[in-house]
Structure formats: C-alpha cells, structure tokens
Amino acid sequence: MLKNIAKKLLWHCDNFHISNFRLLGIDTTMTLEQAKQVAAYKAVDEFVTNDCVFGVGSGSTVVYAVQRLAERVETDKLKIICIPTSFQAKQLIIKHNLTLGELETSPQIDVTIDGADEVDSNMILIKGGGGCLLQEKIIASCSKKLIVIADYTKDSVKLGDRYKKGIPIEVIPMAYIAIKNRIISLFGGDIKLRSAVAKAGPVVTDNGNFILDWLFTNQDLDWQKVNTTIKMIPGVVETGLFINMCQKAYFGQPEGNVIERSV
C-alpha cells in the first residue's frame, strides 16, 4: 500500500528526487503510460504560453498534453486557441473545454505538440500509426515549432530499429495497387493495405483515403530522397516521413526522468 502511494507521488512530483524513492527500496520503474505523461507535461510546461495558438496532435501521448494544457489554462488563466490535427484531437479539445480554432482563422501556429511512432538520431520522424498523418503534417508545416512527446520505446538510432509497422503512406483509393507496385519496384520491401479493426475492409482516413504501410528493409536509404520520390507518384497524398520539421523531442524514461533532444 505504501509503495503504491509513493509511486503515484513519484509520477506527479517534480521536486522529490527519484533517488530518495530508491533509498526506500521502492520500485521506480514507470509504465509506458506514465513515461508518456511525464514527457507530455514537461513539453507543455516549457512551450505553452499565454495568447498562444497551439496545434494539438493526435495519439495516446497527446491525451496527456491536452490534460496538462487544460490544467494550465485553469490555474494560470491562459488564453489559448487550439487547432486540431484530427477528429480525435478535436474531441479532446471539446472534452476539456478548451478554445477550438481552425486553420482558416489561425493559419500561423505558435507551437504544435504531437506524438511520433519513431524518432531517429537525425530527428526524422515516422508518423501516421493512428492514420492522421496528412492533417498532422499540414498543421506541423504551419507551426513555428513542432515538439514531439513520446515514451522511450520511440527513440531510435535508425528508422526501423524499434517501429516495425513500416512507413504509412496516405493514397487515393483507386490508385493504391499501382502505388504499391511502384514503391516496391523503386525501394524494395513489402507494402500492406491497412485493414480496419471494427469494420470489414481497409482503414479510411479523415480525408477519405486509404493508408499503405511500407515495410522497408533498407535502413540506410536517403529518406529525404525517398520522401520526395514517393510524393511524386500520382495518387500519393502524403507520407508519414517528417523530415526537418521537429525542433525538439521529449522521451519519458522508465526511471521517471525525461531525455530531451534538439536539432
């Protein structure tokens, strides 16, 4: 009982050093969800300011960022306009009674905080595991800063070291077979049409498109060239490669600390 209370305290306490818990013989290893939370909280506390236009990313880690943002808005009386990257992000904004904006009226975003499926040593991201890559990239491109929050399992040296589901590619439905064959002929590997979980057939994005997951086998490709080449194929809408877009990443660690990486 005492150990469980102490671990909860560790999760929320910034001033009591983790070594003090270890001296008490308490297991301080965090779950993945706790690691996501500490990364999200730290990023929001560092980058969100009053009168900020804030891009709200998508995915499980962003849930904690919005939770922390709502706390800051309440306690610090911040005025924040939130621009969603997906239907999920929009629902999070509404749920927490935050101010919902849109790109048409707020085309310049101060900071976007988003998750990632993998981040390599050059700060190249794979995104799109949740199917929102197109809108995420649009919002990121309109942002002065893109900040990534993630747990330690997303931190890699090379793309593909940890994330084994491939690079998502959003495509026009009628062209998916032709695109699949073209990418394999250019770069090898295998490509799968992403299947839906609770319905028969493929995943359909918020934009009415399909998603191909490219399971690449060569980790030493020039990702800038790969991204440009794939995007030039007719019918490709966007790729899940985010290159030269992220300024800083926060990775929550099992020990409770956060590792930061900047460009």
CA distances from 215 to 66, 69, 159, 224 (A): 32, 36, 11, 17
Q: Degrees (nearest 5) of the Cα angle 98, 83, 203?
A: 110
DSSP annotation of 202: B
**How far apart are alpha carbons 33 and 132 in whole angstroms?**
21
Percent of residues in the chain assigned helix, strand, coil, to nearest 5: 35, 25, 40
The C-alpha R_g of the chain, in whole angstroms, comes to: 19
Q: Is 136 a catalytic residue?
A: yes
Among the listed residues 136, 170, 255, 260, the single catalytic one is 136
Report residue 191 as tokens.
């490509």
**How far apart are alpha carbons 253 and 142 in whole angstroms?**
30
Q: Catalytic amino acids?
A: 136
